[in-house]
Amino acid sequence: MMKQVKFKLPLRALTLASGLLLTASSFAQSNAIKGQVKDASGEPVMGATITVNGKAVGITDMDGNFSVDAAPGIKLTITYLGMNPKTVQASKNMVITMADDEKALNEVVVIGYGRAKKNDLTGSVTAIKPDELSKGITSSASDMLVGKIAGVDVQTAGGQPGAGAQIRIRGGASLTASNDPLYVIDGLAIDNNNLKGASNILAMINPSDIESFTVLKDASATAIYGSRASNGVIIITTKKGRAGQRPTVTYNGDITLSTIQKKYEVILKSATYRV
C-alpha cells in the first residue's frame, strides 16, 4: 500500500523563489545584441536571418539592423539568399559584412515556368552570370553573347542601323524559314518577324539594362513555348529596383573609334576603265 506524502513550503520560500526567477528573466532580457548587416558595397541587407545553434532568433529590418537576446560571446550565423553564410561572435553594436555567393547565382536559372535550380533540370540550359556581362565594352546587347555560351553563334549582319546580329543556337534548322531564336524579355515572348524598324530585338535594348541571359537549347527546355521555340529561346531579365533598397546612381562612359581597314578610290570617270 502506497502512502501519500505531502510537502509544504512556507510562503516566505515561495516568495523568494519567484523573486529569483524574475531577476533571472530580467537579466536575460538585458543581454540584447544589436548590430547591422551590410553587403560588400556597404549597402544594408534587408531580410537576413540571424540564427543561434540552428534556431532562427531574428531578422534584419529595412536598414539591415537587428536585435536579438543572446549572451555576449555566443556565435551568431547570418544567412541570406545569394550570399555566403557568415558566423561571428556576438558583441554589442556589431557590423557584419557579407559576400556574394557566386555559386548560388549560377545554380538558380530562369526558365519558361519561372525559376528553378539548375541541378533539377534535365534540359540544356545555360545562364550567364551578371559579373560576366560587365566585362569589356559592349555597344549592343548581342555583343554580350559573343564567346560566352557553347553552341551559340553570333554573326554581324552588317553596318545598317538597327540591323543587330544574326544569332543561331546549335546551327540552323531550316533552309527557307527563319532560324532566329525566340526572345523572352521579362516574361514577354517577342519574335523577330513581328518587329518594325529593326531586324533584331537585341538592337533595341540598352545593354546597361540587362541583368542576365538564359539560353534554352533543346526541345525539353523550350517545350512550353511551342513551335516558336524550335530554334531555341533566349530569356532576358532586365534590372529592377528592390523593395526597401536605397536608390543608387551609376554612370558608365566610354568612347569607341573605328577606322576603315582599306580605303578604295572612287571611280568617277569612264576613262578609268580604259587600259
CATH H-level superfamily of 33-97? Carboxypeptidase-like, regulatory domain (2.60.40.1120)
Tens digits of pLDDT across the chain (275 residues): 455 545 454 545 545 555 555 444 444 444 788 899 998 888 888 888 999 888 888 889 988 999 988 888 889 999 987 788 999 988 888 899 998 876 655 555 555 555 555 544 556 777 777 667 666 667 778 878 887 778 888 877 666 555 567 888 887 767 777 788 888 888 888 876 666 555 677 878 888 888 888 888 877 766 777 777 788 888 888 887 777 777 778 777 777 776 777 777 766 666 666 65
What is d(CA 121, CA 110) in angstroms, rounded to the nearest whole number?
11
**What cell does 5 get?**
506524502
Give the mean pLDDT of the chain.
Answer: 74
Burial of residue 267 (CB within 10 Å: 0-12, 13-18, 19+) is exposed
Residue with cell 560566352: 148
pLDDT of residue 23: 46
pTM: 0.49
**Calpha distance 205→40 (Å, rounded):** 29
Residue 225 contacts residue 112 (beta carbons within 8 Å): yes
Give how far Cα 114 sits from Cα of 15, 110, 127, 202, 231, Å. 61, 6, 14, 22, 20
Specify the pLDDT at position 26: 43
CB atoms within 10 A of CB 7: 4
The confidence score (pLDDT) of residue 119 equals 47
- Which of 210, 73, 194, 196 has the alpha carbon at shortest distance from 140? 210
Q: What is the pLDDT of residue 196?
A: 58
Q: What is the pLDDT of residue 29?
A: 46
What is the residue extent of each domain of the chain?
33-97, 108-238
- In CATH terms, 108-238 corresponds, of 1.20.140.10, 2.170.130.10, 1.10.1740.10, 1.10.10.10, to 2.170.130.10
pLDDT value of residue 96: 92
CA distance 234 to 218: 12
Q: List the strands of the sheet with 188-190, edge to edge.
A: 125-128, 210-216, 233-238, 182-185, 188-190
Rounded to 5 degrees, φ, ψ at 54 are: 80, 0
Residue whose cell numbers read 536598414? 63
